[in-house]
Amino acid sequence: MATPKKPVKKKAAPKKKAVTKKKAAPKKKSTRAERNAPSRKKSKGNYAAVKKGRGKGKKAGGGMTAKGVATYRKNNPGSKLKTAVTTPPSQLKKGSKAAKRRKAFCARSKSWKSERGLAARRKWNC
């Protein structure tokens, strides 16, 4: 008598792993200063060029242009910000408001030794 053969179980093919997409990193919360900072396009032309050194911009130390000061004063009502006194000292009347502002700035900035500080002092003819 022949014994009935047991059914042979086939091995199941290995399951393919589902491809998962990597989740995007959570957005970094921006600081208050970053949200309120003007875009480069808006602030273009607000800072003066520097004779030596790094060109234009706040970091270069050339100070603000008349346009930049006007924009700042518009955004900050009651501000008394003024542009630099760039007139050579020989052309200023002694004791005039401009001469006094220049003299006070030069005295205040005597200890500035960085490239930016030196650029600012050059602009004010210190």
User: Higher model confidence: residue 8 or residue 1?
Assistant: 8
User: Higher model confidence: residue 77 or residue 28?
Assistant: 77
Give the global pTM. Answer: 0.54
User: For 93-106, what is each residue's pLDDT tens digit?
Assistant: 999 999 999 999 99
Task: Give the residues across from 78 on adjacent strands.
Answer: none
User: For 17-63, what is each residue's pLDDT tens digit?
Assistant: 666 766 766 766 666 555 665 555 555 566 666 555 555 555 556 67
**Of 76, 44, 70, 74, nearest in space to 58 by CA:** 44
Are 83 and 66 contacting, i.e. CB atoms less than 8 angstroms apart?
yes
Instruction: Kindly report each contact of residues 51-55 with a partner whose C-beta sits within 8 Å and lies 24 or more positions away, as own/partner.
Output: 51/119, 51/122, 52/119, 52/122, 53/115, 53/119, 54/115
User: Higher model confidence: residue 125 or residue 22?
Assistant: 125
